[in-house]
Chains A and B, each alone.
Chain A
Amino acid sequence: MSKGKKRTLIAIAILLLMALTVTICYFIFTKKAEPTSLVYDDNATAGIMPGVDLDQRRAELQTLLDRSMIAFSINTSPVFLNGTSEGNLLIENPGNNAKLLQISILIDDTSEEVYASKYLKPGTYIESVKLDKVLEKGTYNATAYFSAYDEDTGEFIGQTGAQITITVQN
């Protein structure tokens, strides 16, 4: 092989090597640059797909429900001597609740709020209260709503109610 032909072959080999290097680099770098702006699908729902694992899904729901369980106590028939006196409401947030409770009482017929407590810590109770609105002598059907809040974050968890009968004697 002549010296000129040898040089030409070496030059071609170098050029081919360079072309191959450029091609490889192009594919590597362009593929890495693509996912810089991820777009998430609005239609996607967080969690396990329904039907995939029924027992696991049910267990997750049970955990959520168990966290929302609240215990409460209240006198079903509090009596007030008159519209401005204290009555024996006897509301309790038991110690095992691990939630803050706030109680508001609404008269069933008018939906008027006649009492609203502040937050009760677990393991506390209120024996007697004065109503926020003066009620005339009589008997009133009312509903006491217990709203539960997370003890640490103050986040609202849920609400439940108890029907009571308020008696104002004079």
Chain B
Amino acid sequence: MKKRNIFLQLALSATLLFSTVAYAAEITSTKDIPVGGSGQMEMVGTIEPTILSVTMPSFVPFNISNSLSTQNKVISPRINVKNNSNVPIQVDVAYTRVDLSKMKNTTWSNTGAVNANQIAIGLKQEEVENEMPTDLAHARWLHANEDQDMNVLILDANQEGAMYVVGTLGQDVSESATFNVTPTFVVRRTSTPEQ
């Protein structure tokens, strides 16, 4: 009986001993700081790069004609821009290459106001979904062959937006010839999203 008690006590002691060791090992791995003592904890931070991710057109075709009865004389597709980034962006026109060499006696207007022999082309943010603008209010006018940095659209993170080509032309501008307008869109990260 005495031997049996001693054996049981030893077995119990061994169980407790291993349990304690296991517990101690777990505490050691999280760097337990004793009460009244001091310790250092290393915190490692990694800076994640900000990725600009955008879907936008690289070519914008349009038609212009005096036969349109509206103030806006341009037939434009919907220029859709999608910000896939987690940061707000702005879309600017950095430069516009204009070639009017096939248009006799025709010049470009940077302001939207045209005389009989002038053409003006700009961009306008969508006001009614899927509807081409009929007027030229709030249009941003493209400057021919010079640096411009003109903002045309601001999008919040993961937001989608649209704009249209708008324009007008003087009554004496020939409609049988073609001309080329090539704006270069530049996307920038911005900190002030506009609603």
Contacts and interface: CB of A to CB of B under 8 A. Distances in A.
A57 B50 contact: no
Interface residues of A, number: 39
Interface stretch (B24-32, B61-69, B118-126): B61-69
Interface string B161-195: 00000000000000110100000111111000000
Interface stretch (B8-16, B70-78, B137-145): B70-78
Contacts of B61: 61, 64-65
A83 B52 CA distance: 24
B187 A158 contact: no
Interface in A10-45: 43, 45
User: Which of A51, A70, A159, A162 has the most chain B CB atoms inside 10 A of its CB?
Assistant: A162
B113 interface: no
Given A68-B58, A73-B53, A161 B63 contact: no
A74 interface: yes
Contacts of B178: 45
Contacts of B67: 50-51
Given A61-B61, A75-B51, A160 B77 contact: no
B75 A77 contact: no
Contact of A163 (B77, B78, B188): B188
A74 B51 contact: yes
A117 B186 CA distance: 19
Contacts of A70: 55-58
A43 B187 CA distance: 39
A108 to B, nearest CB: 10
B6 to A, nearest CB: 68
Interface in A112-156: 143, 145-148
Contact of A76 (B50, B84, B184): B50
A147 B184 CA distance: 11
Contact of A64 (B54, B77, B184): B77
Interface of B: 49-63, 65, 67-68, 75-80, 84, 87, 94, 132, 175-176, 178, 184-189
Interface of A: 43, 45, 50-51, 54, 57-58, 61-62, 64-66, 68-78, 88, 90, 92, 143, 145-148, 157-164
Given A148-B58, A162-B54, 6 more contacts: A51-B68, A65-B57, A147-B58, A159-B184, A160-B186, A163-B186
